[in-house]
Amino acid sequence: MFPIIAKFGPIVIRSYGLMIALGVIAGYFAARGRAKKIGLTDDHMVDLLFYLLIFCVIGAKLMYVLTNDFLFYFHNPIEIIKSGGEGLSFFGIIPAGILVAIVYAKIHKINFWALLDVLASGVLIGYAIGRIGCFFNGCCTGLPSDSWLSFRFGVMDYPRLPTQLFTSVLAFLGFLHVYHIERTKRFYGKTIGFLLIDYAIMTFFIEFWRDVAKVTFLWNILSASQWLSIVLIPVGLLILLYSSRNQQIRLDEPTNQAEIGLVIDAKEDTNEAEVTEL
């Protein structure tokens, strides 16, 4: 499609990298708007973003290697580095992001579930924009099709379904759903729980139209992402069950808004805000 947007001498602006960068920025600002509710400053969010970028890229690359021809990469580890920003799995971002949140919440004495909800609120908008980068790059394509929706990608001599765009649309709708939950929740953990469920359902069905290999030792009927989605749904449900019983937002102890580790449960349709201690 359009893998390269522009060249300025030795500087090459690639569509995939540009859209990933825009997705990160969009996700950051979406989460930043909610971060203030738990007393996090812009400096805290920039620090978090720095660590998330490092560990989530590592996690995404490792998960891709584990689920895509692991033996090849095991015998040719240099290829992991050569592939650069390509070959990333969102399923690797999830555990990496949770790990960063655990450590950061412990160091700064912030409720872990409240922090995880804040981070989760901006994930799907970034993912939606990033998938547009996949479309321009001509990767992550769908199955061959003669549908009017199909496109020709790169040097391929037959049209394919633009599953990248299908995913982008669903991810954007998922973002609206998750962000609404984040604004109206009454217990911490609800946002991350629904994020995992929304992403798993979306991925499971989209994979049927993607040109991806099936897992041969598991009856050769589903892709690795579909099997991971099946696991992710009950994980999200368990998080909702646990957090609904143990992470209720308390509105009875007004305290200092500026102190880290406190949550402001803002009423979005009024000018009043209730400050609560975690």
Q: What CA–CA distance (Å, rounded) separates 185 from 268?
A: 12
Cβ neighbors of 101 (< 8 A, separation 6 or more) are: 112, 115, 116, 119
**CA 215/CA 122 separation, integer angstroms:** 31
Which whole number is the average pLDDT over 207-211?
A: 93
Q: Which helix (H) or strand (E) holds 198?
A: helix 190-206
Q: What tokens does 153 get?
A: 């990608």
User: Whole-angstrom Cα distance, residue 278 to residue 276?
Assistant: 7
- The burial of 158, by beta-carbon neighbours within 10 Å (0-12 exposed, 13-18 middle, 19 or more buried), is given as exposed
- pLDDT given for residue 273 in this prediction: 40
Q: In 3D, which of 166, 126, 168 has the Cα closest to residue 142? A: 166
- The least confident of 34-48, 58-72, 174-188 is 58-72
Q: What is the mean pLDDT of the chain?
A: 85
Q: Residue 266 class from Cβ within 10 Å (0-12 exposed, 13-18 middle, 19+ buried)?
A: middle
pLDDT tens for residues 10-27? 888 889 889 999 999 999
Tell me how far apart the alpha carbons of residues 164 and 155 are, in angstroms, rounded to a whole number. Answer: 18
- The answer on pLDDT for 84 being more than 60 is no
Structure tokens at 273: 């805000």
pTM: 0.84
